[in-house]
C-alpha cells in the first residue's frame, strides 16, 4: 500500500509537469501574439500613412545581444515596430523555455538519458543562434 502511494505521487508529479509545459506553450503563444498585435496597432497609429521602401535590403551587422537590447528598450518606450519584434522574440523563446522546463523535469525524475538528450538539444539551439548572428 505504501509503495502504491509513492507511485501515484510520482505519476501526479509527471502529470503536473505536463500540465505546466502545456500551459507554458499555450500562454506563451497567446502572450507573444498579443504583444505583436498591440505593436502592430501602435505602429499603424504612428506610421500608417508612410510608404516603406523595400527595394533596398538593409543588413544588420550587430550581434544578438545588441539586437535584443535595442528591441527591449524600444518595446519599453512603446514603439510599435519594437513591440512587434519583442512579440516575435517571445514566440521564439516559448519552445526554448519548454525545453528548459523539460530539462528540469527530467532532472527531478532522475531520467539521465533524457537529461543528456535535452542538454544536446539546448546546445544545438545555442549553436544555431550563435552561428545565425555571426558573419
Is the whole model's pTM more than 0.85, yes or no?
Answer: no
Which region, left, alpha or beta, applies to residue 26 given φ > 0 means left and ψ of -120 to 50 means alpha?
Answer: alpha
Would residue 57 count as lying in a domain?
no
Would residue 18 count as lying in a domain?
yes
Q: At what angle do helices 80-109 and 2-47 cross, to 10 degrees?
A: 170
Would residue 56 count as lying in a domain?
no
Overall domain count for the chain:
1
For residues 88 and 81, the answer to whether their CB atoms sit within 8 Å is no
Would residue 87 count as lying in a domain?
yes
What are the per-10-residue average pLDDT scores of the chain (135 residues)?
A: 48 73 91 96 88 75 79 92 94 91 89 94 86 59
Give me the domain span that covers residue 100: 2-48+62-132
Would residue 24 count as lying in a domain?
yes
Amino acid at each position: 500500500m505504501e509503495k502504491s502511494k509513492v507511485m501515484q505521487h510520482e505519476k501526479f508529479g509527471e502529470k503536473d509537469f505536463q500540465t505546466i509545459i502545456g500551459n507554458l506553450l499555450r500562454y506563451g503563444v497567446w502572450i507573444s501574439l498579443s504583444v505583436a498585435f498591440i505593436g502592430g496597432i501602435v505602429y499603424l497609429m504612428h506610421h500608417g500613412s508612410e510608404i516603406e521602401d523595400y527595394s533596398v535590403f538593409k543588413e544588420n551587422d550587430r550581434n544578438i545581444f545588441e539586437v535584443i537590447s535595442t528591441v527591449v528598450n524600444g518595446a519599453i518606450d512603446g514603439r510599435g515596430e519594437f513591440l512587434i519584434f519583442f512579440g516575435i522574440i517571445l514566440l521564439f523563446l516559448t519552445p526554448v523555455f519548454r525545453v528548459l522546463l523539460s530539462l528540469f523535469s527530467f532532472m527531478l525524475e532522475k531520467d539521465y538519458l533524457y537529461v543528456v538528450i535535452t542538454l544536446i538539444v539546448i546546445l544545438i539551439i545555442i549553436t544555431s543562434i550563435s552561428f545565425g548572428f555571426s558573419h
